Amino acid sequence: MSRIRISIVLLVCILSAVTVANAKENANSTKNEFNPISTGVTSLSIAPDARAAAMGDLGAATDPDVNSQYWNPAKYAFAYSQAGVSLSYTPWLRKLVNDIFLADVAGYWKLGSSDLQALSASLRYFSLGEIITNDTEGNATGSINPYEMAFDLGYSRKLSEKFSMGVVFRYIYSDLGFHYDGSSASDASGASAFSADIAGYYTTYPIIGRNECQWSWGFNISNIGTKISYDSGNNNAFLPTNLRLGTSFLFPIAEYNTISLNLDLNKLLVPTRPQRSDYESDEAFDVAEDEYQAMSPIKGIFKSFSDAPGGFKEELREINFSIGAEYSYNQQFFIRAGYFNENKFKGNRKFFSFGAGFSLNVLRIDAAYMVATAQTSPLDQTLRFTLSFDMDGLRDLIGHRR
């Protein structure tokens, strides 16, 4: 055995792999229709914060908050506070293992007194726990701790009173494997990649009846970048480049009481990998596989709109949607709920989510809980926690004490 790949870790952590069992349910009724899109560094697709997760994993157009870096960095230009920082923690797949988790730190700072632009940053760390290594005879030789991480910097700016745009540059590092030389295991060098996000946010305040409401739209094209390879370029994986479109409508229902209704649509801008069953001969499949491996990420983005084997019908299946609502009392107490839906032939992730939050002048605590519709889903009962700090409130508190 010249090289051991930690495929079981990938099987556990990749979101699409969670529902591979659904292929058996569909195999008898429809041939070859279960065809999820494969990518590398799939941990980049895991929602980091509790607020967005509680509304069904959405955030393209919701009110700006400190975790907008992941959902739509253009929102920072409309943030109410001058600066903020947050820490989020998600125990992942606890129905299967107890040491996989996602940790995320995010923050922003608005520049100058004009309130037109902001700098932002985030660091996410996805730990795959401890893996015991074995030799060819099955004897334990040690352990490794594979992980994935990403660090990014962003800039956003208002281009008008109602519209802003943002850009994010990201460095990605993934360490998922090791070498085996016949007598002992040694860590292999990890894989690196670079990517960028481009986002926009539009918000307006229509008057309905006697109430001023807020209607917002947003988009984010994330992880536009290089491919990633764990074997010196022999096999390359596309990053999970994603197009997110969203809208949010917020309206008052009584004094100090508001509610927002939100919708996000998502599509992976990644080409579909060829399947042997779609080709009449091994030679034709090999040609298609070589073309897939040689395809540039930019070409893959455009090809992703028209390359599904099932045509336009299958392209529509690749669109996921999230719907969610958030109730707020005086911007201090929050109740949230949402639903996420992925087509059964593209991964079949379907779940309800619930959550709540409490905010003081300085501190805000949010929690979210996921309930999968499939009883066998390892994503069921996933918890998320987020702790946020408002730097304006902290500055005022310190100044008041002085």
> pLDDT per residue over 99-112, tens digit each?
899 999 999 999 98
CA 45 to CA 71: how far, in whole Å? 11
Residues 129-146 have a mean pLDDT of 75
Strand-strand pairing, 185-187 and 131-134: unpaired
Collapsing DSSP to helix, strand or coil, 198 comes out as: strand
Query: Which among 57, 147, 162, 59 is positioned nearest to 102, based on CA atoms?
Result: 147
pLDDT of residue 298 exceeding 90, the answer is: yes
pTM value?
Answer: 0.86
Written as six digits, the tokens of 288 are 């298609």
Contacts of 300 (CB under 8 A, 6+ apart): 238, 241, 269, 270, 271
10 Å CB burial of residue 98 (0-12, 13-18, 19+) is exposed
Residue pair 295/316 in contact (Cβ under 8 Å)? The answer is: no
The domain defined by 3-401 carries CATH number 1.10.510.10? no
Residues 382-391 have a mean pLDDT of 93
Residues 127-132 have a mean pLDDT of 84
> pLDDT per residue over 43-97, tens digit each?
999 999 999 999 999 999 999 999 999 999 999 999 989 999 999 999 988 877 8
Residues 127-133 have a mean pLDDT of 82
> pLDDT per residue over 1-54, tens digit each?
333 334 334 333 433 334 434 444 444 444 457 888 989 999 999 999 999 999
Residues 128-137 have a mean pLDDT of 76
Give the pLDDT of residue 198.
98
pLDDT of residue 283 exceeding 90, the answer is: no
> pLDDT per residue over 198-250, tens digit each?
999 999 999 998 899 999 999 999 999 999 988 776 788 999 999 999 999 99
Query: Which among 51, 44, 90 is positioned nearest to 384, based on CA atoms?
Result: 90
Collapsing DSSP to helix, strand or coil, 119 comes out as: strand
Enclosing H/E stretch for 3 = strand 3-5
The overall average pLDDT reported for the chain is: 85
DSSP state of 302: H
pLDDT of residue 339 exceeding 60, the answer is: yes
Q: Determine what percent of the chain is predicted with pLDDT higher than 90.
A: 61
